[in-house]
Amino acid sequence: MNATQWMEDLQKNISDLIARSPAADLERNVRAMMAQGFSRLDLVTREEFDVQAELLARTVARADQLSTQVSQLEARINALEAGQGRTATPTQG
């Protein structure tokens, strides 16, 4: 038996021993307790967080786009108002 095979057998035996020992039950119980504790907290999953982060990025991009459009419209309005002020003749009364 070579060293690699011996190490693999040892690892398998240890894994089997742990799976049949109270340590496996303890691990499951700790995981269940932690899951229950986390469920009481106001936490989100990584997937939910990523979805919300993507939504926020799209919202910020759209807000930037709308801000640019508003600035362009304001510039056009100001240009039109300035143009009307030059060509209009004031009435004297």
Tens digit of pLDDT for each residue in 74-87?
999 999 999 887 65
- Residue predicted with more confidence, 4 or 66: 66
For the four alpha carbons of 29, 34, 40 and 43, in that order, the dihedral sign comes to negative
Judged against a pLDDT cut of 80, whether residue 49 lies above it is answered with yes
For the four alpha carbons of 39, 41, 28 and 11, in that order, the dihedral sign comes to positive
Rounded CA gap, 19 and 22, in Å? Answer: 8
Rounded CA gap, 15 and 8, in Å? Answer: 10
pLDDT of the residue at 85: 73
What is the band of 65 on the pLDDT scale with cuts at 50, 70, 90?
very high
What is the band of 88 on the pLDDT scale with cuts at 50, 70, 90?
low
Kindly state the greatest CA–CA separation across the chain. Answer: 115
Mean pLDDT, rounded, for 25-43: 81
What is the band of 89 on the pLDDT scale with cuts at 50, 70, 90?
low
What DSSP line would sit under 58-89, residue for residue?
HHHHHHHHHHHHHHHHHHHHHHHHHHHHHHSP
